[in-house]
Amino acid sequence: MMTAFWETEGLQTLGIVVLVFASIKLLHLMGLISFSEDSVEDELELSAVRHRPEGLEQLEAQTRFSRKELQILYRGFKNECPSGVVNEETFKEIYSQFFPQGDASTYAHFLFNAFDTDHNGSVSFEDFVMGLSILLRGTVQEKLNWAFNLYDINKDGYITKEEMLDIMKAIYDMMGKCTYPMLKEETPRQHVEVFFQKMDKNKDGVVTIDEFIDCCQNDENIMRSMHLFESVL
């Protein structure tokens, strides 16, 4: 199955998106999100934590989650992160446990930066639930915008070959021995070249958000990946 996964046509163009969606499942398995049907409080329990989240009403208006879903999400988040925030080391610990055959630290770093929207070095409950809302309940365009932001490492509005290569290497490093056949050193760069041939329509050496979205929306494999985890919560 893993072989077919990595050999699928078009995978190299948005394989990272599939892994981002899988990341939500990993966060669930690690206990960051609890889908228990146990009774929950009527309001978020704002205990003595370092970061106090916004009220339920505001978060409900800003996301596609119901009041009860937000309560469940916060309970799981608070249980795993009593301080009220997640730091980058926590992300790395989560991924290292689920990808012991590889080195997930770089990928976790990129993913952390995508969730840390205000770039203050921590992911609050608001950051977490806003990203989760897009990945699980957002429109295709919203999900692709989020994925573009992940690729755009320096946040200048463009994806360069070097940025894509950094992401692709991070994926291969994380997958480790799961990738088959054994990857040659030049394989990530070869996949980046394919990526740019498909997406860089005007051949100027960078991919814009419009080029990215247009190419992805015309790829059946990518469109299928957009719906992988819509029923997680």
Encode pLDDT of 164-221 as tens digits.
Answer: 999 888 888 887 766 545 666 677 788 888 888 889 999 999 999 999 999 988 888 7
pLDDT over 50 (residue 11)? no
Range in 35-44, 165-174, 218-227 with the lowest mean pLDDT: 35-44
Domain that includes residue 64, residue range = 14-24+58-232
Query: Is 51 contained in some domain?
Result: no
pLDDT over 80 (residue 41)? no
Tokens matching residue 31: 């206990």
pLDDT over 80 (residue 24)? no
Nearest CA among 181, 224, 172, 189 for reference residue 3: 181
The model's pTM is 0.76
Query: Is 6 contained in some domain?
Result: no
What integer pLDDT is reported at residue 206 of this predicted model? 96
Rounded to an integer, the average pLDDT of 136-152 is: 90
The number of distinct structural domains making up the chain is 1
Query: Is 46 contained in some domain?
Result: no
Query: Is 84 contained in some domain?
Result: yes
Query: Is 112 contained in some domain?
Result: yes
* CATH number, domain with residue 104: 1.10.238.10
- Long-range CB pairs of 58-64 (<8 Å, 24+ gap) are 59/126, 59/129, 62/130, 62/133, 63/129, 63/130, 63/132, 63/133, 63/137, 64/133, 64/136, 64/137, 64/138
3-state secondary structure of 26: helix
Query: Is 198 contained in some domain?
Result: yes
